[in-house]
């Protein structure tokens, strides 16, 4: 079911081709001047240069061919050869009825579905999630949902950081603070690393790890002996020393409880909860294979893969595969993860939704994977993002200047959402449990829409007061609009009013249907650019268009045929708006 822009684009292409003009230039877009036309095509100007004809002459000939198209109420030429297209009310009515009847609200599927992995979240074991994890979680979840909705076979992977140097630092720090744990580890050389976790280890909490890690990291930087011990403990862990491995399992278990809570509060779900440790068994054979292929180079006791290419504007550092201490490195596990994914899922595209500052790291790993034959060139893509900043323009911090934990940010936003609901007189007569559920949805909508309305590559300022408002371009505003339509439809049902065929007549109805029709364009842009902001923008424009329609076109008091038409438009709007919000990871309440 083609949207109007695509359908008219095909008609203009055919008219260009019939005039002997390259059809690829006949691009149709939404009009820059909606007061003059619904769509426009500026292709005659480019075509004139290519075929050596007057652009207005080309536009006139094309317009003449289009005048018999029943979907067009008018075809006019402006300026040196711009084509302005106005859609007929009948065509808009047909399109509105098609959208209303379509479970996908006018959205199409991709022609050639792919197997896709979205790597996002990226939390570290033994550390609570902080505000720096917010963007990866929000953007990655939306891209996963969007690609799945378009028809791809998609797997979302959290990809834990759980197997590197920071684990050695923490094992050492816990041993220093708990001599009984240190003694137990020393006495467990013959134990089963997959057996029960000792009671002493069960005393270690996430709060302990959160407190110890900064201290251990600082000591590791300042004290070479402390750093060397941490590296040795990392190697012991990776060699499955029973005591180190069992303590590490405690770190992983206690962390996942908190991660599950924080991700769930954000409406983020993963298909795979894999960590770097899950590819440990692949590393030794992979290193041997890299060596056999002549890709490994000895370098000051370490082993590396050189990835720089002729023509690079700057030389990329090599991939460090094995450290001088013999342990696998961060990039090694990333490379092994690519191999593991190829063996398990054979993806045609892997999207890494990770901070833009990691761009060089991923370019190095990807090049190594291409050299090794673990992925085809172009099938690995890093989509970076900027930072979430405070109103001072700097990365978001606590008032004391520390990194804000994600759970604290969620609770802070939930508290502000409660305050906003009370200010607006919303939800006051609802049961407490339902009110709390609504406050949670408003908080998540505020957090997610604040992020997703921006192109992912840019940084943005998070203003809690502004983004929790029920007015303006905010998540809560979109929820309020959806709830208002739900309330309208409930009232109509109570009065026995039924929906019927849409018949477009009023300007506000035209604008609403044209906005509904633009859903497919927004989805395609968000999909192609891996940029959910296009979908966020559509949701906002749809809410605005409905608000204008609601004000200009009475619904329940209208004559029965008009009321039926407008109720169908309202229901179609709600379906599309809720679908768009779902793809953004935002859930709408039934009432407020």
Helix residue ranges per DSSP H, 453-559: 464-467, 475-494, 507-517, 519-529, 533-552
Give the CATH superfamily of 406-583.
Isoleucyl-tRNA Synthetase; Domain 1 (1.10.730.10)
Give the integer Cα–Cα distance in Å for 359 and 321.
18
d(CA 36, CA 27): 18
The H or E element spanning position 128 is: none
Per the structure block, which two tokens stand in for 57? 């002459």
Confidence (pLDDT) at 1 = 61
Only one residue has tokens 């007015």, namely 471
Q: What is the DSSP string of 440-459?
A: HHHHHHHHHHHHHTS-TTS-
Domain 4-87 and domain 406-583, same fold? Reply is no
HEC letters along 158-199 = CCEECCCHHHHHHHHHHHHHCHHHHHHHHCCCCCCCCCCCCH
Beta bridge partners of 303: 298, 322
**Residue of 143, 8, 101, 133 whose CA lies nearest to 62:** 8
Query: Rounded to an integer, what distance in angstroms lies between the CA atom of residue 504 and that of residue 387?
Result: 44
Q: Phi and psi at residue 256, in whole multiples of 5°?
A: -65, -30
Under 8 Å CB-to-CB from 181, ≥6 apart: which residues? 174, 175, 200, 201, 204, 247
At 177, give phi and psi (nearest 5°). Answer: -85, -20
The residue to which tokens 């009065």 are assigned:
495
pLDDT in tens, the chain (592 residues): 689 999 999 999 999 999 888 888 889 999 999 989 999 999 898 888 888 899 999 999 999 999 889 999 999 999 898 999 999 999 999 999 999 999 999 999 999 999 999 999 888 887 767 777 889 999 999 999 999 999 999 999 999 888 888 999 999 999 999 999 999 999 999 999 999 999 999 999 989 998 999 899 999 999 999 999 999 999 899 889 999 999 999 999 998 888 888 888 889 999 998 989 999 999 999 999 999 999 999 999 999 999 999 999 988 999 999 988 777 788 999 999 999 999 999 999 999 999 999 999 999 999 999 999 999 999 999 999 988 888 877 777 665 656 778 788 889 999 999 999 999 999 989 999 999 999 999 999 999 999 999 999 999 988 899 999 999 999 999 999 999 999 999 999 999 999 999 999 999 999 999 999 999 999 999 999 999 999 999 999 999 999 999 999 999 999 999 999 999 999 999 999 999 999 999 999 999 9
Number of H helices, E strands in the chain: 22, 13
Query: Where along the chain do its domains lie?
Result: 4-87, 165-265, 406-583
Return the structure tokens found at 418. Answer: 């409660």
**CA angle in degrees (0–180, nearest 5) for 505-509-512:** 155
Per-residue CA distances from 523 to 448, 534, 583 (Å): 18, 7, 10
Structural class in CATH, domain 4-87: alpha beta
Question: Kind of pairing, strands 460-461 and 388-389?
Answer: parallel
Record the tokens describing residue 426, joined without a space. 């919303």
Can you give the pLDDT at residue 387? 87
Q: Which residues does residue 491 pair with via DSSP β-bridges, in sequence order?
A: none
């Amino acid at each position: 079911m083609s949207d109007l822009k695509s359908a008219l684009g095909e008609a203009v292409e055919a008219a260009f081709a019939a005039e002997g003009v390259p059809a690829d230039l006949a691009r149709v877009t939404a009009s820059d001047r909606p007061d003059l036309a619904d769509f426009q095509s500026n292709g005659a100007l480019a075509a004139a240069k290519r075929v050596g004809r007057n652009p207005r002459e080309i536009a006139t000939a094309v317009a003449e061919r289009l005048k018999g198209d029943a979907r067009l109420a008018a075809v006019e030429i402006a300026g040196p050869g711009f084509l302005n297209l106005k859609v007929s009310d009948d065509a808009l009515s047909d399109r509105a009825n098609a959208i209303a009847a379509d479970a996908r609200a006018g959205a199409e599927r991709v022609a050639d579905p792919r197997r896709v992995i979205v790597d996002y979240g990226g939390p570290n074991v033994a550390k609570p999630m902080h505000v720096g994890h917010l963007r990866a979680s929000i953007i990655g979840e939306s891209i996963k949902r969007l690609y799945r909705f378009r028809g791809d076979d998609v797997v979302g992977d959290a990809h834990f950081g759980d197997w590197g140097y920071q684990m050695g630092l923490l094992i050492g720090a816990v041993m220093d603070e708990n001599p009984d744990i240190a003694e137990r580890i020393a006495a467990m050389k013959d134990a089963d690393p997959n057996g029960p976790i000792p009671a002493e280890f069960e005393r270690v909490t996430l709060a302990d790890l959160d407190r110890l890690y900064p201290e251990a990291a600082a000591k590791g930087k300042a004290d070479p002996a402390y750093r060397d011990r941490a590296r040795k403990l990392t190697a012991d862990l990776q060699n499955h020393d029973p005591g180190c491995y069992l303590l590490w399992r405690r770190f992983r278990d206690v962390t996942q409880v908190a991660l599950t809570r924080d991700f769930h509060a954000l409406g983020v779900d993963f298909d795979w909860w894999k960590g770097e440790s899950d590819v440990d068994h692949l590393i030794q054979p992979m290193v041997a294979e890299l060596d056999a292929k002549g890709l490994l180079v000895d370098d000051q006791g370490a082993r590396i893969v050189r990835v720089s290419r002729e023509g690079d504007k700057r030389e990329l550092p090599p991939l460090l595969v094995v450290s001088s201490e013999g342990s696998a490195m961060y990039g090694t596990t990333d490379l092994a993860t690519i191999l593991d994914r190829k063996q398990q899922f054979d993806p045609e595209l892997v999207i890494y939704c990770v901070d833009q500052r990691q761009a060089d790291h991923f370019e190095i790993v990807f090049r190594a994977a291409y050299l090794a034959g673990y992925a085809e060139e172009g099938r690995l893509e890093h989509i970076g993002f900027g930072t979430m900043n405070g109103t001072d323009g700097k990365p978001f911090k606590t008032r004391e200047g520390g990194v804000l934990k994600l759970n604290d940010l969620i609770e802070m936003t939930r508290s502000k959402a409660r305050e906003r609901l009370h200010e607006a007189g919303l939800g006051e007569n609802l049961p407490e449990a339902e009110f709390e559920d609504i406050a949670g949805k408003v908080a998540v909508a505020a957090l997610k829409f604040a992020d997703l309305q921006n192109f992912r590559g840019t940084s943005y300022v998070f203003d809690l007061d502004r983004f929790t408002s029920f007015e303006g371009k905010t998540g809560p505003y979109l929820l309020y609009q959806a709830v208002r339509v739900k309330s309208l439809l409930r009232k109509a049902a109570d009065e026995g009013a039924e929906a019927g065929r849409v018949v477009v007549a009023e300007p506000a109805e035209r604008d609403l249907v044209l906005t509904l029709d633009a859903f497919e364009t927004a989805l395609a842009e968000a999909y192609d650019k891996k940029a959910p902001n296009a979908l966020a923008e559509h949701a906002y424009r749809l809410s605005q268009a409905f608000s204008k329609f609601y004000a200009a076109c009475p619904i329940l008091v209208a004559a029965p045929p008009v009321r039926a038409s407008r109720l169908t438009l309202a229901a179609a709007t709600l379906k599309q708006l809720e679908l768009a919000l779902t793809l953004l990871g935002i859930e709408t309440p039934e009432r407020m």
